[in-house]
Amino acid sequence: MPQLGPYALKNPWVLAPMAGVSEMPFRVLAFRMGAGLCPTELVSAQGLMRMNPRTVRYLRHDAEVERPYVLQVFGGEPDVMARASVMGKEAGAQVIDINMGCPVKKVTRSGAGSALLCDVPRAADVVRAIREATLLPVTAKIRTGWDANSRNYVEVASALVDAGASAIAMHGRTRAQGYSGKADWDTIRQLKAALPGTLVIGNGDVKTVEDAHRMLEQTRCDAVMIGRGALGNPWIFRQLNGGLPPDNDERCAVVLAHFETHCAFAGEELAAVRSFRKHLAWYAHGLRGASAFRAEVNTLDRGEAVHAAVRRFFQEAEADAEAAASDDYDLDYRTALG
Ligand SMILES: Cc1cc2nc3c(=O)[nH]c(=O)nc-3n(C[C@H](O)[C@H](O)[C@H](O)COP(=O)(O)O)c2cc1C
């Protein structure tokens, strides 16, 4: 099984860091369903340094379940990243993951996220600074390059490993590609071939159990990271470990339990109900009546009403291949931060 610093992972299945999704309740759910690793969504190093209350709240985690607890930070300055990582360590982080894939201008403008791919010495300095300051295992999540003319992932990853990185996760698209086209799994194969002694985590377009096994086989990577394929489908991790898909009763119970932990985490009822709508939309994907259910829950603002709607919908849920195929409910990935 994959080894991350001193931590032996239970299996090679990793939940992708996803802003607004990979919060504590969803990470805990994914771990319980069998994921081997669930990093946090990206957290601003500047925000941590300034003790911004909203940023500090991202550090909440469940130390019993989240083992190891991987904190993803973003920033462009080695000393700021190092100081923020020390704060993360003090809050319980056991591994620091550096975001080097975020394509969003607000992030890249300050030299963070995928902008680090364009400045390899600085990217390596960030790894070194965090290693020296925290003594924790450091990992990085990269893309294949800034654009088609600068697919420098082997150079970037080799420099990061030389600087002390324990693992490299790579989304097989360039920054310029955003989420368009297909992830190029051959780049993941080439990265693993170039770094045979490093934990390489492949990422991009793994939607099914079959995809995950195919990625392992085709690329020889050590672990597979799943993002959009886990939205509304945390059971994918159980199925990857040989378990069964959920029946209606279980699906309903898990959605309700997720909602409860989400409410406790959000703290405020209306905010919780609103921010859970996206999860409900994903959970309903592929089930008969999904679009009417989404329209309904978008009008609800009380937890009790959500409970009732969830019970009505999921207890009677029937798979609907036709509806699933024509179901165009999707995220606007242009705003996705990885
Ligand atoms: C809603 C959303 C939010 C994301 N946020 C992050 C993030 O905070 N940090 C990060 O490294 N990647 C982020 N990503 C990128 C994913 O981790 C992953 O690299 C990408 O979705 C490709 O994997 P997939 O095809 O399995 O979804 C995000 C993606 C999505 C869809």
Band (pLDDT 50/70/90 cuts) for residue 317 is: confident
Catalytic residue among 38, 102, 221, 263: 102
Q: What is the mean pLDDT of residues 9-36?
A: 98
Q: Is the C-beta atom of 204 inside 6 A of ligand 1?
A: yes
Q: What is the mean pLDDT of residues 306-313?
A: 97
Q: Looking at this protein, which amino acid is placed at residue 183?
A: A
Residue 145 belongs to a domain with what CATH number? 3.20.20.70
Tell me what pLDDT residue 337 has: 56
Tell me what pLDDT residue 84 has: 98
Check residue 243 and give left, alpha or beta (phi > 0: left; psi -120 to 50: alpha).
beta
In what helix (H) or strand (E) does residue 164 lie, and over which residues does it extend?
A: none
Same domain (yes/no): 180, 285 = no
| Distance from Cα 331 to the centre of ligand 1, integer Å | 11
Angstrom distance (rounded) from CA 105 to CA 29: 31
Tell me what pLDDT residue 93 has: 98
Band (pLDDT 50/70/90 cuts) for residue 334 is: very low
Residue 120 has φ and ψ, to the nearest 5°, of: -60, -45
Tell me what pLDDT residue 329 has: 59
The last residue of one of the domains, among 212, 240, 268, is: 240
Band (pLDDT 50/70/90 cuts) for residue 324 is: confident
Tell me what pLDDT residue 95 has: 98
Q: What is the mean pLDDT of residues 193-199?
A: 98
Same domain (yes/no): 97, 162 = yes
| Distance from Cα 15 to the centre of ligand 1, integer Å | 10
What is the average pLDDT value for the chain, to the nearest integer?
95
Tell me what pLDDT residue 211 has: 98
Which protein residue's CA is at the shortest distance from atom 13 of ligand 1?
Answer: 338
Q: Is the C-beta atom of 206 inside 6 A of ligand 1?
A: yes
What are the tens digits of pLDDT across the range 123-177?
999 999 999 999 999 999 999 999 999 999 999 999 999 999 999 999 999 999 9
Nearest atom, ligand 1, residue 225 CA: 26
For a substitution probing ligand 1, which of 171, 215, 334 has the most ligand atoms within 8 Å of its CB?
A: 171
Q: Is the C-beta atom of 17 inside 6 A of ligand 1?
A: yes
Alpha helices in the chain (DSSP H): 24-33, 45-49, 53-57, 78-90, 105-108, 120-134, 153-162, 185-194, 209-219, 235-240, 248-266, 269-284, 290-297, 303-315, 321-326
Q: What is the mean pLDDT of residues 32-41?
A: 98
Specify the pTM. Answer: 0.96
Same domain (yes/no): 150, 292 = no
The number of distinct structural domains making up the chain is 2
| Distance from Cα 88 to the centre of ligand 1, integer Å | 21
Q: Quote the domain boundaries for residue 227.
A: 3-240
| Distance from Cα 203 to the centre of ligand 1, integer Å | 9
Same domain (yes/no): 293, 183 = no
Angstrom distance (rounded) from CA 75 to CA 62: 25
Q: Is the C-beta atom of 101 inside 6 A of ligand 1?
A: yes
- Residue 80, in any domain of the structure: yes
- Residue 332, in any domain of the structure: no
Same domain (yes/no): 284, 203 = no
Say whether 102 is catalytic. yes
Q: What is the mean pLDDT of residues 198-212?
A: 98
Which protein residue's CA is at the shortest distance from atom 22 of ligand 1?
Answer: 204
